[in-house]
Amino acid sequence: MGARRRRVGRRRPGGEPLIGFLHVPADPETTGDPAPARDRHAALREVVASALRGWREHLPDEGRVLLTGFSAFAGVVDNPTGAFTGDLREVARAVALATGVEARIDAGAVRGQGLEVVSAVLPVDDRALERARAGSLPELLARVRPHAVLSMGVHRVTDHFRVEVVPTSAGLIVDNGEERHTWEARPVQRRSDVRSLARAIVRGSSGRGFALS
């Protein structure tokens, strides 16, 4: 799902915004297949923790991070990104990994060691872009006023995590002041490269051994 980049309240030295999109590999649950007993989100938790750890030096005291995943859609019956962001206990475990102290769940957010993470599950359609809709991306940005935004979506044809560094318009248009997607053939507009998430994960991973491209 394409997304128009919006300004967030913090930039790293050099002016790069603290935003990024993480492609998460599918797992058996994604398509409803039988899955072995395991810690489903172990790898994703490590990657999110590394991103938070890598961004912390650029965040103010009591820095706010918006973490988003997506819900189910065609062929995806259990989206791992939505399953993660929709479970505050999982988000708290990632924050604890990032900060080294136990995180607490408070008023719908996760807080720990001067870091506040607000997580949300977005629908995979234009409801996610409706400004007046509670829980939409514009509403979340206005309400949370994050210093950093980490968005995630499932990628069904890869077995490793990928950071999107070349965002495009991907069918997104502005119609009467509102953003929506179109199936009409239109030129794809390439946006400026965004590498702060990739840099944060590398910086915060400390050689933990997960694959990233």
Is the pLDDT assigned to residue 5 strictly greater than 50? Answer: no
Rounded average pLDDT over 180-207: 80
Mean pLDDT of the chain: 88
pLDDT of residue 12: 58
Does pTM surpass 0.85? yes
pLDDT of residue 201: 96
pLDDT of residue 186: 65
Could you read off the pLDDT of 66-91 as tens digits, one per residue?
Answer: 999 999 999 999 999 999 999 999 99
Could you read off the pLDDT of 104-116 as tens digits, one per residue?
Answer: 999 999 999 999 9
pLDDT of residue 192: 78
Could you read off the pLDDT of 87-136 as tens digits, one per residue?
Answer: 999 999 999 999 999 999 999 999 999 999 999 999 999 999 999 999 99
Residue 97 CA to residue 196 CA, distance in Å, equals 20
Is the pLDDT assigned to residue 8 strictly greater than 80? Answer: no
Confidence class for position 210, pLDDT limits 50, 70, 90: low
Q: Where are the domains of the chain?
A: 19-31+40-205
Confidence class for position 16, pLDDT limits 50, 70, 90: confident
Confidence class for position 1, pLDDT limits 50, 70, 90: very low
pLDDT of residue 175: 78
pLDDT of residue 113: 95
Q: Identify which has the larger pLDDT, 213 or 193.
A: 193
Is the pLDDT assigned to residue 10 strictly greater than 80? Answer: no
pLDDT of residue 121: 98
Taken as a whole, the chain contains a residue count of 213
Could you read off the pLDDT of 135-172 as tens digits, one per residue?
Answer: 999 999 999 999 999 999 999 888 999 999 987 767 77
